[in-house]
């Protein structure tokens, strides 16, 4: 089935069919209805790739994330997808599993597909990509990494401020021995959270801190707790790099008979939906994932209202729930 057959069935020109497919407002509603009916009757599927090559532009947004197992990334993707669909764009996704070499491959594939814009919601980065993306002139949004340029927007979360809120709150509850549960410590955004906890010792000399890390998964959170406790260090509170590792940590503590928060407090980061429904509900730091998704689409999809560019910094909100309480008496 091709465009000409649709045009003959609807008794219009192929140019009119194209305008309907591109949602052009110049087509009369009665004509549009005839074309849509013909498309449905003939089960016509436009060759989107060919259309993008012919027009030099595509109606596709590329999204690259570090870990689809973590709902934090999926929540942002869902908002991007909803906004893109509302404007007639499709979304293609790639997952890097925190590998910088996979990020390079995925970005080059996206550019090869001539995406209209690209969002990299990742913690890893290959520095040579910045110049490559700048030269491609593809609109790009980086979350957490990269450097703002003319066609590159950065969204950053003030992780230091978020972690400081957690540390100060735990300190106010009498906690002096803190464990940090992390993953991929060499990556900038992750390392910043761990470094902030470690730096708290200089700011609050009475604190003692020790860190352990494993994968960015539920099981990784469990294993990191095992690694930490195997050292003989006995924290009264665990600060987890995100909610997924925190839920894994809760499972390990429960199996060891360690009560939360009576024996040990636990905090997460991100405030994904799971943090509300696990037991006990997690004290965490809220990152506005829907807002981030909206900013990404506003930055990548052409529209009449000019949006902010450069660097956008988000101050995260501290959320207190049931997984934290006063430090146990020694």
Q: Which residues are within 8 A (CB) of 202 and not within 5 positions of it... i.e. 6 or more apart?
A: none
pLDDT of residue 23: 61
Rounded CA separation 195/180 (Å): 10
Give the residue among 306, 314, 248 at the shortest CA–CA distance from 285: 314
For the segment 30-55, what is each residue's pLDDT rounded down to a tens digit?
888 888 888 878 877 665 555 555 55
CA 136 to chain centre: 23
More confidently predicted of 304 and 19: 19
Mean residue pLDDT of the chain comes to 87
Residue 220 and residue 98 in contact, taking contact as beta carbons nearer than 8 Å = no
With 60 as the cut, is the pLDDT of residue 307 above it?
no
Residue 128 and residue 139 in contact, taking contact as beta carbons nearer than 8 Å = no
pLDDT of residue 73: 93
DSSP per residue over 267-305, as a string?
Answer: E-SB--THHHHSSSPPBEEE--HHHHHHHHHHHHS--SS
Residue 152 and residue 133 in contact, taking contact as beta carbons nearer than 8 Å = yes
- Of the listed ranges 45-54, 179-188, 192-201, 243-252, the one predicted with least confidence: 45-54
pLDDT of residue 288: 96
- Of the listed ranges 15-24, 149-158, 231-240, the one predicted with least confidence: 15-24
Rounded CA separation 67/123 (Å): 10
Tell me the mean pLDDT in the region 101-106: 84
**Residue 57 confidence class, pLDDT cut points 50, 70, 90:** low
pLDDT of residue 42: 80
More confidently predicted of 188 and 239: 239
Strands 90-95 and 60-65 turn out to be parallel
CA distances from 123 to 98, 126, 142, 154, 268 (A): 7, 10, 10, 13, 18
Rounded CA separation 279/323 (Å): 8
Tell me the mean pLDDT in the region 71-82: 95
pLDDT of residue 223: 97
More confidently predicted of 50 and 283: 283
Residue 237 and residue 178 in contact, taking contact as beta carbons nearer than 8 Å = yes
More confidently predicted of 6 and 189: 6
Phi-psi region of 277 (alpha: psi -120 to 50; beta: other; left: phi over 0): alpha
Residue 269 and residue 243 in contact, taking contact as beta carbons nearer than 8 Å = yes
More confidently predicted of 171 and 184: 171
pLDDT of residue 278: 97
Strands 90-95 and 117-121 turn out to be unpaired
Most confident of 1-15, 92-106, 202-216, 229-243: 229-243
pLDDT of residue 282: 98
Tell me the mean pLDDT in the region 240-266: 97
**Residue 188 confidence class, pLDDT cut points 50, 70, 90:** low
CB atoms near residue 231 (< 10 Å): 10
Cis preceding-peptide flag for 280 (omega within 30 of 0): yes
Residue 238 and residue 225 in contact, taking contact as beta carbons nearer than 8 Å = yes
Determine what percent of the chain is predicted with pLDDT higher than 90: 54
Rounded CA separation 22/158 (Å): 40
Rounded CA separation 205/104 (Å): 42
Phi and psi for 311 in degrees, rounded to 5? -115, 130
- What are residue 179's DSSP bridge partners? 210, 238
């Amino acid at each position: 089935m091709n465009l000409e057959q649709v045009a003959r069935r609807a008794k219009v020109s192929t140019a009119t069919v194209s305008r309907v497919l591109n949602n052009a407002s110049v087509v009369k509603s009665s004509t549009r209805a005839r074309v849509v009916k013909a498309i449905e009757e003939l089960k016509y599927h436009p060759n989107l790739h060919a259309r993008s090559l012919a027009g030099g532009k595509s109606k596709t947004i590329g999204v690259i994330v570090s870990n689809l197992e973590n709902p934090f990334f999926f929540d942002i993707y869902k908002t991007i997808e909803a906004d893109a669909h509302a404007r007639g764009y499709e979304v293609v996704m790639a997952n890097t599993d925190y590998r910088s070499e996979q990020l390079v491959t995925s970005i080059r594939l996206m550019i090869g597909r001539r995406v209209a814009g690209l969002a990299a919601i990742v913690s890893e980065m290959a520095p040579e990509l910045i110049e490559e993306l700048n030269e491609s002139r593809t609109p790009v949004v980086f979350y957490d990494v990269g450097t703002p340029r003319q066609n590159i927007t950065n969204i950053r979360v003030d992780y230091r401020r978020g972690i400081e809120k957690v540390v100060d709150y735990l300190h106010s509850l009498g906690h002096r021995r803190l464990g940090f549960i992390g993953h991929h410590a060499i990556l900038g955004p992750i390392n910043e959270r761990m470094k902030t906890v470690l730096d708290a010792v200089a700011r609050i000399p009475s604190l003692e801190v020790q860190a352990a890390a494993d994968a960015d998964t539920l099981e990784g959170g469990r294993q990191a707790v095992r690694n930490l406790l195997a050292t003989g260090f006995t924290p009264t509170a665990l600060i987890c790099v995100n909610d997924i590792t925190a839920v894994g940590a809760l499972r390990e503590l429960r199996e060891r008979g360690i009560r939360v928060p009576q024996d040990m407090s636990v905090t997460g980061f991100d405030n994904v939906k799971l943090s509300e429904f696990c037991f006990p509900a997690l004290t965490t730091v809220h990152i506005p994932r829907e807002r981030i998704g909206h900013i990404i689409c506003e930055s990548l999809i052409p529209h009449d209202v000019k949006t902010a560019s450069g660097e956008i910094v988000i101050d995260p909100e501290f959320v207190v729930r049931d997984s934290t309480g006063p430090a146990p008496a020694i």
